[in-house]
Amino acid sequence: MSSSVLKPLGAAHIAAARDRLRHRAAKAGLDGLLLLRAPNIAYTSGLFLSANERPMGLWLPVAGEPVLFMPELERENAGDTGIADLRCYEEFPGTHHPVLWMLDEIGQCTIGIDALSAELLDVARDRMVRIDLTDHAMHERTIKTPEELVLIREAARFADSFLVRLHAEGGNIIGQGGTEQDLMADAMAHARGALFAKHGVAFAGTPMGITASVHSGPRAALPHGTVLPRQPLHRETVIAGIGASLGGYHAESGVTLIVGEISPKQRQIMQAMERCNDAAVAALAAGETCEKVDMAAADALRSAGLGAAIRHRIGHGMGLEGHEAPWLAPGDATRTLHNMVFSNEPGVYRPGIDGYRTINTMIFTKTGVDIPSRFQTNTPIDARVIAI
C-alpha cells in the first residue's frame, strides 16, 4: 500500500478486531468485555474521542452486537462508529456513577473490565457473577495488523522529517542567536506542515500530529526537561526526540547532534550508544523476552563504562498510544512476538555536563527487525553535526 492511497482503518478492520476480542473473551470463560480505556474503545469502534472526566464504555459480548455507552453530551460524536446500540447517560458524576450504570445495563454476567477504579470495585463485584480485571484489549493490541503497520511506518517517516530539517537548518538558526525553542518551532512547522499537506484531508477526524522536544548542553541530561529559550553553544549536544502519529498510530525517531564539531569523548559515547541500539535490535530479532532485550542493550552501555549514566529502559511498545505495553524494561517478562512495535532509545545522561539519546522505531517481523526510522541510518555519527 503506497502512502498516496493511505486511509484511516475501515469498518472491516475494526469489526475483525472485535471478533478477535470476542474469541479471547470466550477463551477466558467470559460473557464479554467492558472496555473503558479510550484507546481500547478506539480499537473496537474507530471512535477517537476524549470525554475528559466523563466515562465512555464499549460492551462487547461474546454473543451479540456491541453496545456503546456515552455521556449525552457526546451523542452525536458516536454517529460514525456504525454501532447501532448507543446508550447515553445524563452527566458525570450524577446520582448514579456512569460505570455502575453501564454494568446495570449489561446485566449480571461474567465480565472482563480493562480498567476499574478501586472505589468502584466492591460494588461492581456485587453486580456481576465474576469480574476479570485483565486488559484483554491491550494484549490483543500488542500484535499489529499489516494495515496498522503501514500507518506506523508512515508516521516514522514524518518523525524523521523533523530531524532532517533540524540537521539542515539548525546551524543557520543558532548562528542567528536561535534557541532550543526556535529550533523546535522551525522543524515542527516543517514536519507538521508536510504531514498535513500529505494526509490532512484523508485522515481528518483521526489523531494526527507531531510532538517533539529539543534540549541542549547540560539540559540534555534531563530526559524530560522543558524546552527553553536557551541558545546551544559550540560543541554542546542537542537531543531531539520526535513522536508522530497518523490515523491514531504512533512512531518515534530521535538523534543527538553536536554543535560545530564532535569531540573524541562525544564520539566515543555516541559509538557506545550505537552498539547499545544494535544490541537491542539483535536481542529482539532473536525473540528474547522484553526484559532480556533491555538487559542486552544496557550491558552494551555498561561494557563501555557508562552504566552510571543509564537513567531509563531501552524502550516501550507503540501503537494507538505513544507509550504502551509491553515494555522493554526490567521486570517485563513478556515474550516478544512478530508484529510487535517498540521504540529503541539508548540514553546516556551526565548531570551538569550533557546528555545523549537516539530513538528508532522497531518492528519485529518474521524475517528480522524492520526499522522504519531512517535518519540514523542515513546520517552516520560523524555527520551528526550542526554546522555553524
What 8-state DSSP symbol labels residue 306? -
pTM of this structure: 0.96
Question: What is residue 2's predicted lDDT score, i.e. its pLDDT?
Answer: 41
* Banded model confidence at residue 310, pLDDT cuts 50, 70, 90: very high
Cβ partners under 8 Å of residue 148, min gap 6: 9, 249, 319
Across 127-151, average pLDDT: 98
Say whether pLDDT at 4 is over 70. no
What is the per-residue pLDDT across 241-283, written as a single tens digit (0 to 9) for each?
999 999 999 999 999 999 999 999 999 999 999 999 999 999 9
Q: What is the pLDDT of residue 106?
A: 98
For residues 74 and 49, the answer to whether their CB atoms sit within 8 Å is yes
DSSP-assigned beta bridge partners for residue 361? 343
**What does the block give as the cell for 172?**
543557520
Distance from C-alpha of 186 to C-alpha of 166, rounded to nearest angstrom? 8
Amino acid at 270: M
* pLDDT tops 60 at residue 371: yes
Is the pLDDT assigned to residue 386 strictly greater than 60?
yes
* Domains, in order of start, for the chain: 3-141 (3.40.350.10), 146-386 (3.90.230.10)
CA distances from 312 to 93, 307, 327, 344, 358 (A): 38, 11, 11, 11, 13
Q: Provide the pLDDT confidence category of residue 51 given band limits of 50, 70 and 90.
A: confident
pLDDT at 3: 42
CA dihedral (315, 321, 322, 327) in degrees, to 10, reads -10
pLDDT in tens, 200-247: 999 999 999 999 999 999 999 998 989 999 999 999 999 999 999 999
Q: Report pLDDT digits (tens) over 82-107.
A: 999 999 999 999 999 999 999 999 99
DSSP state of 312: S
How far CA 380 is from CA of 33, 114, 115, 163, 187, in Å, comes to 48, 43, 44, 13, 20
**Which range has the worst mean pLDDT, 91-95, 301-305, 317-321?**
91-95
